[in-house]
Amino acid sequence: MGRIVMKFGGSSVASAQRITAVADIVRSRLDRRPLVVVSAVGVSGDGEPKITDQLETLAELANSHRPYEENLDRIRVKHKKVVRELGLKWEAVSPVWKKLLAAVKDVDRPYREFLDEVFSFGERLSSFIIAEAFSSWGIPARCADVSELGILTNENFQDASVAPENESKVLAALRDEEKILVVPGFVGHTADGRITTLGRGGSDYTAALVGSAFEVDEIQIWTDVSGMRSTDPRLIPDAERLDVISFDEAKELAAFGAKVLHPKTIEPAMRKNIPVVILNSFKPADAGTTIRNERVKQNTVIKAIAHKSGVARINIESTRMLGSAGYMARIFTVFAKHQVDIDVMATTEVSVSLTVNSMRRMDRVIEELREFSNVSVDEGKTIICTVGEGMRHTPGVSGRVFSTLGTAGVNVELISQGGSEINITFMVDDKDAERAIRALYYSCIS
Ligand code: ADP
Ligand code: ASP
Ligand code: MG
């Protein structure tokens, strides 16, 4: 049997007790020579925010020259408790801790670069501690240092990506390592060695990059739910688990808010045709969800619903006759220049409506768009994405979706069906989102 990647998210490594459970899971699969990827310490129910969030606050304070010692102390206390309860000595961790102290003092650089280095310590600390714990329990393990990762990214700090041609460089320096590698998720670096991060929730993407580089048999994402559900369990707690879904379905669901999987995870796995399996570290015996290259139809045409709230709609109308090709090109150039991703889009010859996740960096975008367009912005919107392989070539699906929403009294805007024909995506006001999702779930899925 070939190797596997096992990625453990924040809640799976949030305490000494959780890390002990992780060790049991890893131990039971040692014959698969797992490559272990870990997130930063997450929420464990002690009222403390997750470490990555705490590091962000720390970076903000340090950057604006406000006192941050108390925040630093909270981060230290949290890790010290985990270390002590694992039966380890803090002295072993202190070289990593000292690097964090030095990084926080080094504020005299662009904030986005500073933040990514500070961010990286969540995963650098957790991977170090977990490797030490594994070793102390007789699982021969070693933590991969940032300098050994080979996760060569672009310079898009906070949301960096690895070009497909660089995927084979991932962990290349550690290809022959005999011990179990514990890899810090979320972290990469530029060609000149500055640290980047891969986007919030990006440790899933690290797992896929490692899996692709080592051409493993399976990429396991261990989290706090037993697989992907047909609808966000925070909205519909009894939404059923999806047994198998296709790469295309998973890509749409992850892109439109199914937080359980980072959207960038699918591409590297898909290119090498490696199944991604979502499993529950709190209930390791539970069945999960397998994402693979197989179009599985089921009884209901719509298999799942994802949603993303708090998005903004940008309406752009041409003030000059440019011809639609030139007009689109100009719009895209402005968004690309400021590194703002567009989610959903609808167009006519002279006007374009599109959505963006947040208004970050949008001031500059709007200013430049206004040089050749009228621009208006509507905030407080939710994108809802319905997905199912069965939608391909099935008539009447959109009729069903929109009549359901009509009956529920939900006003729908900006409808789009992607090229893959396996989704119908549209926008509603934030205030209508929950009602819309419930109506669709009970009419089209359950
Ligand atoms: P981790 O820390 O392990 O990376 P995340 O918090 O990123 O975990 O993702 C797991 C969470 O994703 C679940 O607790 C659940 O609330 C949320 N979630 C959103 N949509 C879905 C869905 N369709 N299926 C399962 N979980 C979902
Ligand atoms: N620690 C990072 C975050 O909280 C990455 C991850 O957990 O996947 O976003
Ligand atoms: Mg996650």
Is residue 122 lining ligand 2, measured as CB closer than 6 Å? yes
Ligand 1 closest atom vs CA 227: 25
> What is the percent of the chain with per-residue pLDDT over 70, rounded to a whole number?
99
Distance from residue 381's CA to the centre of ligand 3 (Å): 23
Distance from residue 255's CA to the centre of ligand 2 (Å): 16
Ligand 2 closest atom vs CA 186: 5
Distance from residue 201's CA to the centre of ligand 2 (Å): 4
Structure tokens at 84: 């002590």
Is residue 150 lining ligand 2, measured as CB closer than 6 Å? no
Is the pLDDT score of 307 beyond 80? yes
Distance from residue 234's CA to the centre of ligand 1 (Å): 9
Is residue 126 lining ligand 1, measured as CB closer than 6 Å? no
Residue 78 or residue 399, greater confidence: 78
Closest residue to atom 5 of ligand 2, CA basis: 201
Structure tokens at 183: 């890899």
Is residue 16 lining ligand 1, measured as CB closer than 6 Å? no
Is residue 186 lining ligand 2, measured as CB closer than 6 Å? yes
Reported confidence tier of residue 164, pLDDT bands at 50, 70, 90: very high
User: CB-based burial of residue 153 (10 Å sphere; 0-12 exposed, 13-18 middle, 19+ buried)?
Assistant: buried
What average pLDDT does the segment 76-88 reach? 97
Longest Cα separation, the chain: 71
Average pLDDT of the residues of the chain = 94
What average pLDDT does the segment 216-240 reach? 95
Q: Near ion ligand 3, which residues have CB within 5 Å?
A: 9, 201
Ligand nearest to the CA of residue 385, numbered in listed order:
1
Taking the complete model, does pTM exceed 0.85, yes or no? yes
What average pLDDT does the segment 417-443 reach? 91
pLDDT for the residue 321: 60
SS (H, E, C) 241-289: ECCEEEHHHHHHHHHCCCCCCCHHHHHHHHHCCCCEEEEECCCCCCCCE
Q: Write the pLDDT tens digit of every residue in 297-306.
A: 676 789 999 9
Residue 219 dihedral angles phi and psi, to the nearest 5°: -110, 115
Q: Write the pLDDT tens digit of every residue in 167-225.
A: 999 999 999 999 999 999 999 999 999 999 999 999 999 999 999 999 999 999 999 99
Ligand nearest to the CA of residue 259, numbered in listed order:
1
What average pLDDT does the segment 304-326 reach? 86
Task: Find, among 183, 102, 189, the residue nearest to 153 by Cα.
Answer: 189
pLDDT for the residue 395: 82
> What is the percent of the chain with per-residue pLDDT over 90, rounded to a whole number?
84
What average pLDDT does the segment 46-58 reach? 95
Ligand 1 closest atom vs CA 221: 3
Reported confidence tier of residue 322, pLDDT bands at 50, 70, 90: low
Domains annotated on the chain, with CATH: 4-224 (3.40.1160.10), 304-444 (3.30.2130.10)
